Amino acid sequence: MSGVVRALCAAVAVALLVAPSASPAASPVTRQVVSYGNQAELAALERSGARVVRTLPALRSAVVETSRALGQRPVLRRAQKVDEPALAQTYLPGVAWEWQWSAARMGEVPDWVLHAASGVKIAVIDSGADLGAPDVRDKAPETWSVLSRSRRVRDRLGHGTFVSSLAAGSVSNGVGISGFGGDAKLLVVQAIDPDGYITDVDEAAAIVYAVRHGAKIVNLSIGGTETSRVEQRAIRWAARRGVLVVAAAGNEHDDGNAPEYPAALLQPIGSNGRGGIGLAVGATAMDGSRAFFSNTGSYLSLAAPGYNVFAAESADCEWPRADLPWASPGYYGWASGTSFATPEVAGAAALVWAANPRLTATQVAKVLKESASGTGWSPELGWGRLDAAAAVQLALRTPGETLRAAFRR
């Protein structure tokens, strides 16, 4: 067996029963899973019975023009905004609120893009998932365990359920939270044991399985300070097949801040966020600043909400659960880490691909970096904070064949 063992990138191994505005959590656990047109005219048209696509003002013409350029008809549907209980904005302590949705401007992503994401499959390589959790169950995910070589992916650790719900939780079931991937398909690949560790051999096997079963995006919320040929070959193999791999940058800022792998394989050390074959993701707090635990360095691509984010929990784990103000058959709570910022970026990547299916994996990564809310690259946040709406806008107005010339990132 290989000597390289990965761990989860969760700053806190259990969910936090604190409000998003609460004081910082305890110091991150070393080598744990990286877990952190005119409105009146439109109204008149609708009253007349016309079907109107409501999109961002800057996108009204781009939606149609880009769809035509791609040989597709725009998706026409009545206004149907995402309406999940956890999206009700509140600043009250202890009230369940998926604040990360607003922070990444997910509410401004056109509905048709959320639904068009059904053509993209996201693989979450993790500790499995609770298939009874409403936001996971209602996506009818495909499953595989490289540990038991079966379809059973029971999540006793809890990490995989949290990550899966953030990447691709249902946006249309009216329960709990909404995943960042819209209607993207979900593939749950269990490769992390109940103690939170994964070998590079199992990691590689999970990557190969995911790619061979149609995943366009692979989420790796894991990390460690060493790499191996097995891991390197698996990452390169996936990249050569047009798959976008997204990995957590790590939570050891105050414990040496050493580069983490596989993130540093995707965005190489010394690259300052340029080039690479995937994305290394850091974590931000609610105010947009770097989460205190999130690693920094030249291998950081961008960052996303990762401190006290709200998501679904597994019924088979012992994470503390939030006291919900709304009825739900599932469990929810808060947790922190770059582990949980990473699936948000993975989900946003599915939206970029939905907006412009002609993009390559490298171009999708460039769009996400180019559209991030920073003013330039920095070792703290990479190219900046995830902005899903801006990423979709950029993908829509830039034909795939010109992206290579348009971006240097």
CA 204 – CA 233 distance, rounded (Å): 8
For range 32-40, the mean pLDDT: 40
> Does pLDDT of 26 surpass 70?
no
Q: What is the reported pLDDT for 52?
A: 33
Candidates 254, 245, 256, 255; CA nearest to 280 is 245
Give the closest residue to 184 by CA, choosing from 249, 132, 109, 277.
109
What percent of the chain clears pLDDT 90, i.e. is strictly above it?
Answer: 71
**Position 23 pLDDT exceeds 60:** no
In this structure, are residues 322 and 334 in contact, taking their beta carbons and an 8 Å threshold?
yes
Percent of the chain scored above 70 by pLDDT? 78
Residue 41 burial (CB count, 10 A): 10
**Whether the predicted pLDDT of 295 surpasses 70:** yes
Quick: pLDDT tens for 157-198. 999 999 999 999 999 999 999 999 999 999 999 999 999 999
For the chain, give the mean pLDDT. 84
Mean pLDDT of 333-360: 97
Catalytic positions are 126, 159, 339
pLDDT at 368 over 50: yes
Average confidence (pLDDT) over 289-298? 98
The pLDDT tens digits for 135-152 are 999 999 999 999 999 999
From residue 219, alpha-carbon distances to 129, 167, 400 in Å are 14, 8, 23
Q: How confident is the model at residue 44 (pLDDT cuts 50, 70, 90)?
A: very low
Cα angle at 94 between 163 and 308, to 5 degrees?
Answer: 35
Contacts of 68 (CB under 8 A, 6+ apart): none
User: Region 88-109: what's the mean pLDDT?
Assistant: 85
- For residues 93-115, give the mean pLDDT: 91
How much is the pLDDT for 46?
A: 41
Residue bearing tokens 């005219």:
41
Contact 356, 123 (CB under 8 A): no
The 10s digit of each residue's pLDDT in 201-235 is 999 999 999 999 999 999 999 999 999 999 999 99
Q: What is the pTM of this model?
A: 0.84
Q: What is the structure's pLDDT at 92?
A: 64
pLDDT of 381 strictly over 90? yes
DSSP string, 366-380: HHHHHTSS-SS-BTT
Assess whether pLDDT exceeds 90 at residue 81. no
